[in-house]
Amino acid sequence: MSGMRRWWAPWRDVRWAFAAVWLIFLIYPWVAVATGDLSTAQKVSGYLLIVAFAVIYVVTCVYSLMAREHEVSMPFTIGLFVLLTAIGACLLPIIGGDAFGVVPFLMAVAAFTFPPVYGVTAVISLIAAGVLVGEWIPAWAVDPGTVVVMVAVGMTLLGIRVLRAREMERDAADERQRELNNQLAVVAERERVARDVHDILGHSLTVITLKSELAQRLVDLDPERAKKELGEVNMLSRQALDEVRATVGNLRSPDLASTIAAARSALDAAGITVSVSSEDRSSTAHDTLFAWLLREAVTNVVRHSSATTCTITLWDNEIEIRDDGHGMNGSGFGNGLRGLTERVEDAGGALTIDSAAAGGTAVRAVLP
């Protein structure tokens, strides 16, 4: 039953009917049989051969002409082509040169199913046969108009085959480009998630480390303060875990207000006096990006600057984080700053970092 379904399935693709409809032109050899000075046996034979040609051509349309390229069985197609050619040859003794009325159908099979070189060879051979048969057997001579038609049909079919091949190549190239774009999108998304996780963990773990060290120092001197710091460590660790889960799942972005509060807490735990200025500022589409930048910049201040003061200034489309530490001392950007630069540039803005040993570091982002 599975074999029967496999053989029946191509018939449900009705595209074959658009190729088989051209069998209407078999009317010319049919008329040649009907009007020829032939015996009854010859006429019956002629009709049967034309009907057999039509049936086999329909089978060829279904299983070869309209099949997808990877589904075409070349030995099967060649067998059908040879059978169709043999039927055409059998018509020659009956109706002579009019038998070449089946040649365009043979050309179609050769042009659209054979490899290009063999298709061209078959088409040229059929045209040559139309010219030479009349030379060898004058009674089978082909009308010059028929030869012209065969040449025109053959060249047209080969041209269509070339255009179709180019179209398939373009489709394949487009498919490869789509696959490449998908791969690049996956890489970009991985980089985005990596940046997000780095920014979250870099900031949160720095604050947790500072607060746990502070709690360790205070555990004997000020137990109540130590408990408070440990409670904040627990809260920060839970918050960081939630944010990592949300970021990996692409469910949420950091909130600017909560990030400012976390920055205050981190800087305070590090013994750095913090000043935040955001007066006369309204919420904008840049707040999420500002939150990421504030996290990374404050993390760097706490870890590396040895600063005593830090000023955070916010405008509608700008943010600046300035400290009075020892500067970057010629060190290059780390992963965090590189990630922030990419974020700001992707948003159409610019990130500048002004760092000097005497004047500390100022990180400033300006967005459209």
pLDDT digits (tens, 9 = 90+) for 241-295: 767 666 655 545 567 888 888 888 888 888 888 888 876 677 777 888 888 888 8
pLDDT at 251: 45
The H or E element spanning position 7 is helix 2-8
For residue 314, the tally of other CB atoms under 10 A from its CB is: 21
pLDDT < 50 regions, the chain: 1-2, 70, 251
pLDDT for 1: 44
- Rounded CA gap, 287 and 314, in Å? 10
Angle at 45 between CA 40 and CA 48, to 5 degrees: 125
Contact criterion met (CB below 8 Å) for 229 and 211:
yes
Strand partners, 352: 364
Tokens describing residue 115? 């490899």
> Helix count (H) and strand count (E) of the chain?
12, 5
Among candidate residues 315, 210, 217, the one with its CA nearest the CA of residue 269: 210
In this predicted structure, what is the pLDDT of residue 77?
A: 83
CB 239 within 8 A of CB 252: no
Backbone angles phi, psi at 16, to 5 degrees: -60, -25
Cβ atoms of 61 and 23 within 8 Å: the answer is no
Task: Tell me the pLDDT tens digit for each residue of 210-243.
Answer: 878 887 888 778 888 878 878 887 787 777 776 7
Residue showing tokens 């199913």 = 113
Give pLDDT, residue 261: 85
- Judging by beta carbons within 10 Å of its beta carbon (0-12, 13-18, 19+), is residue 139 exposed, middle or buried? exposed
Q: What is the DSSP string of 186-240?
A: HHHHHHHHHHHHHHHHHHHHHHHHHHHHHHHHHHHH-HHHHHHHHHHHHHHHHHH
Q: What is the DSSP string of 80-91?
A: HHHHHHHHHHHH
Distance CA 194, CA 198 (A): 6
Q: What does the pLDDT read at residue 68? A: 57
Report the candidate in 350, 352, 343, 344 with the shortest Cα–Cα distance to residue 321: 352
Helix (H, G, I), strand (E, B) or coil at 322: strand
